[in-house]
Amino acid sequence: MSLRPVIETRPARPAIEGAGVHLHRAFGFQDPSELDPFLLFDDFRNDDPAKYSRGFPWHPHRGIETITYVLSGTVAHGDSLGNAGTLAAGDVQWMTAGSGILHQEMPRGNARGQMHGFQLWANLPSSLKMTAPRYQDVKSADIPEVTDDDGTTVRVIVGSFWGRRGPVDGIAADPQYLDVTVPPGLKKSFRIDTYRRTFAYVFEGTGTFADASRPAGVLLDKEVAGREVTVRDPSGDRTLVRFGTGDTVTVQAGPAGVRFLLVSGAPIREPVAWHGPIVMNTQEELRTAMTELRNGSFIRSAADQD
Ligand code: MN
């Protein structure tokens, strides 16, 4: 076993997207190699409908996949190819934009006005950037949920874990997307293959993720024998935790337990040319996309696809 060191913990930052959706961004639009193959992660939990109901009206995507995971409320979506549907609590949509779609995503709160959900962007390798668009909509009931003897629960949204396989398939970034709940006070380890780039996103409770130099379970006080020591605050709500290389992630859950997404994928290691919702390899490809958006040839018909 080799512990993955914690490279960085940082809070998601407030941002406004779409037509005025107040969300928190854990990463995105900075260094795309940092969490390659993942480009962006937004947490659009909000309890005030005025801060999310204008939603994300018509916008394009090309060259990426967007993964939407809804916890409360719903997200209605529709696109230029005639696809439409509604994601409910616990549902996941894995959308491969490929050569291009125009779509809208409109969040609606639950009876108490709460809208909770996440959107992750995964990059596509150059060989698949212009692949045909594809949707995989997964109902909550079809997502395997495994509970360990100690009460740790893992929803396997994508990939294989603890002998279960999530229903989404054929994804270039070979992702593993887990929704993990660890009971109060418990120390728990998760094996993640070494080749994967890995992050956690804490969204309930608190936990201390083990560092190579700081075994899990050792929560240091500010004062030890009269001298100051460095304190790593436990990761709480809306914290991104980036891991280095190793095969194991270990967390010590705080007094209220901890719930986090544990996401990993194989790095693509290609140049990234990024303009808003379009992510290609070169500036030339970006210019082509912009030209096609202007002249109406952005959307490929089925006959154009390989
Ligand atoms: Mn979108």
CA of 11 to the centre of ligand 1 (A): 23
Tokens read off for 173? 């970034």
Instruction: Output the pLDDT for position 305.
Output: 53
CA distance 94 to 246: 27
CA of 75 to the centre of ligand 1 (A): 11
CA of 79 to the centre of ligand 1 (A): 10
CA of 20 to the centre of ligand 1 (A): 14
CA of 104 to the centre of ligand 1 (A): 6
CA of 259 to the centre of ligand 1 (A): 26
Instruction: Output the pLDDT for position 303.
Output: 52
CA angle 120, 238, 242 (to 5 degrees): 65
CA of 131 to the centre of ligand 1 (A): 17
CA of 103 to the centre of ligand 1 (A): 6
CA of 97 to the centre of ligand 1 (A): 9
CA of 18 to the centre of ligand 1 (A): 9
Q: Does domain 6-265 have CATH number 3.40.120.10?
A: no
Q: What is the mean pLDDT of each successive set of 10 residues along the chain, which is 306 residues long?
A: 88 95 95 96 95 96 96 95 93 95 95 96 96 93 97 96 89 88 96 95 92 47 36 77 93 93 96 97 98 93 55
CA of 238 to the centre of ligand 1 (A): 21
CA of 33 to the centre of ligand 1 (A): 21
- Give the residue extent of every domain in the chain: 6-265
CA of 81 to the centre of ligand 1 (A): 14
CA of 281 to the centre of ligand 1 (A): 19
Instruction: Output the pLDDT for position 172.
Output: 74
CA of 105 to the centre of ligand 1 (A): 6
Chain position carrying tokens 């040839």:
297
CA of 299 to the centre of ligand 1 (A): 15
CA of 218 to the centre of ligand 1 (A): 42
In three-state form (DSSP H/G/I as H, E/B as E, the rest C), the secondary structure along the chain is CCECCEEEEEECEEEEECCCEEEEEEECCCCCCCCCCEEEEEECCECCHHHCCCCEEEEEEECEEEEEEEEECEEEEEECCCCEEEECCCCEEEEECCCCEEEEEEEECCCCCCEEEEEEEEECCHHHCCCCCEEEEECHHHCCEEECCCCCEEEEEECEECCEECCECCCCCCCEEEEEEECCCCEEEEECCCCCEEEEEEEEEEEEECECCECCCCCCCCEECCEECCCCCCECCCEEEEECCCCEEEEEEEEEEEEEEEEEECCCCCCCEEECCEEECCHHHHHHHHHHHHHCCCCCCHHHCC
